[in-house]
Amino acid sequence: MRIQVRRSQKQLIAQNIDMRRLVAILILCASVTAIMASGHGQGSQQSQAQPQAQPSPSPRPAIAQVPPEEAARELNNPRSKWFREAKFGLFIHWGLYAIPAGTWKDKQIPGLGEWIMNRAKIPVKEYELLAKEFNPVKFNADEWAQFAQDAGVKYLTITSKHHDGFAMFRSMVSGYNVENGTPFKRDVIKELAAACAKHGIRFCVYYSQAQDWHEPNGAGNTWDFGPDDKKDFDQYLRDKAVPQVRELLTQYGPIGLIWFDTPRLMNEARASQFTNLVRELQPDTLLNGRLGGKGDYRSTGDNRIPNEVVPGVWEVPATINDTWGFKSYDHNWKSVEDITFKLVDIVSKGGNYLLNVGPTSEGVIPEESVVRLRAVGAWLKPNGQSIYGTSPTAFGAELKGKDWRCTTKPGKYFIHLFQWPNGTFELDGVKSKIKKSYLLVDSKNKLKVNQSGDKVSITLPARAPDKVDSVLVLEY
């Protein structure tokens, strides 16, 4: 008996140790994932996690918080003033992948449209034949820039080269480009840069600096060229990526920012080749946070919106359906309500919203995207003052729900009402004396304000002026 008891005690202890090990391993895993998300741009998994629905324990953060000095450095950088005020940008993913549009040899390939070469392990020799078919005769740079303007974005970021290695601009560095390698024979980047300048939109480029599935020494193509750790990655940087970035900085006038991505195999020394080049050729051009060194601002993981106010300068890159590059059968379009809410939500937390469209191989932005973005632009027209150039919320309790959000300017609170309250809007924690209140679209009609200590109550009209987001202004 005694022996048996001892044995079970031992087993219990052993079990206990196992449990502790398990817990330790779980904690380790969670922190490793968190660290990956917080690293320079590794948080770009295709996650659809929504801010309000984060499960516990330890969800991977949308973006890493940085020390206050670092956030202040970002916020005080004169170079990024336009970006901090812009709040809303248009991302465009366009390349050869628009031709297969998610289907290869009659099979629908899961995942992101622009990843098709990788997901279907298409050999370079086959994939590059797409260039011979690329002839987007409906492409009209002026219409795209006009559309960007209608949508109310202040900047436009287009893929000048994605991971597939195909350049959407004329390049002396590689013939694998839109002007020299296709029947189209036109420089997309050049036409769009000119059109954006005309329409007052900051022109920016995405450039995949590390992955290049077309090149033997670029990162990522293991099916043609073997494992990345056997490659002469510096040869690729020296002979393609760095010289192509030089072309982008010298051929197209002012570049607002360069959007680097997935810094595989990158390190400080490799990143500084790009940083030095940018600073030398266009000192005003911003660097995003996914180069592999310090940038002028940070990105969240793709489609990830933080739960809280995040100090510093940052941006949420996001899809309008579930892909970046066009996929003919992805119809999961976000609604106008959802997009407007996301824009306001992000801005109220201190970030920018970079919303993507994926044009077709004909050069057409899908009508579903056009309609939605135009509707957001129509809302921004009378309500833009509550978005552009604003600062984050003065409150914070509202971030737990979805009823309202707050953006601020000196002397003003903009209360974005997504749920129209019945009769009055009640606000807690108001530190200043409210002088007047009105609806942004009806500023002549002053609303009744009741303030008692830090509690404020505004009497509202019976009906919401906007069916998505009605903006209430409180001046103090």
Angle between helices 141-151 and 367-383 (to 10 degrees): 50
Question: Residues 454, 455, 460, CA angle at the centre, nearest 5°?
Answer: 140
Tell me the closest approach of the beta carbon of residue 322 to ligand H79, in angstroms.
11
Tell me the closest approach of the beta carbon of residue 181 to ligand H79, in angstroms.
21
- C-alpha 295/C-alpha 291 separation (Å) is 7
Question: Residues 356, 302, 61, CA angle at the centre, nearest 5°?
Answer: 150
- C-alpha 142/C-alpha 145 separation (Å) is 5
Q: Given the complex with ligand H79, which of 83 and 115 has the nearer CB atom?
A: 115
Tell me the closest approach of the beta carbon of residue 355 to ligand H79, in angstroms.
12
Tell me the closest approach of the beta carbon of residue 416 to ligand H79, in angstroms.
27
Q: Given the complex with ligand H79, which of 299 and 386 has the nearer CB atom?
A: 299
Q: Given the complex with ligand H79, which of 208 and 386 has the nearer CB atom?
A: 208
Q: Given the complex with ligand H79, which of 292 and 311 has the nearer CB atom?
A: 292
Tell me the closest approach of the beta carbon of residue 325 to ligand H79, in angstroms.
7
Q: Given the complex with ligand H79, which of 51 and 325 has the nearer CB atom?
A: 325
Q: In what order do the strands lie in the sheet with 202-207?
A: 286-287, 257-259, 202-207, 155-161, 88-92, 351-357, 314-318, 298-299
- C-alpha 318/C-alpha 353 separation (Å) is 7
Tell me the closest approach of the beta carbon of residue 185 to ligand H79, in angstroms.
26
Tell me the closest approach of the beta carbon of residue 163 to ligand H79, in angstroms.
7
Per residue in 1-12, is it b (16+ CB within 10 Å) or e — as a string? Answer: eeeeeeeeeeee
Q: Given the complex with ligand H79, which of 74 and 114 has the nearer CB atom?
A: 114
Query: 442: which strand partners?
Result: 439
User: For residue 354, which amino acid is it?
Assistant: L
Q: Given the complex with ligand H79, which of 261 and 296 has the nearer CB atom?
A: 261
Tell me the closest approach of the beta carbon of residue 467 to ligand H79, in angstroms.
31
- C-alpha 432/C-alpha 414 separation (Å) is 14
Tell me the closest approach of the beta carbon of residue 55 to ligand H79, in angstroms.
20
Q: Given the complex with ligand H79, which of 333 and 476 has the nearer CB atom?
A: 333
Interacting residue ranges for ligand H79, rule: CB under 6 A: 44-46, 111-112, 114-115, 261-262, 302, 317, 324
Q: Structure tokens of 433?
A: 């004396």
Tell me the closest approach of the beta carbon of residue 45 to ligand H79, in angstroms.
5
Q: Given the complex with ligand H79, which of 163 and 199 has the nearer CB atom?
A: 163
Tell me the closest approach of the beta carbon of residue 317 to ligand H79, in angstroms.
5
Q: Given the complex with ligand H79, which of 325 and 465 has the nearer CB atom?
A: 325
Q: Given the complex with ligand H79, which of 167 and 440 has the nearer CB atom?
A: 167
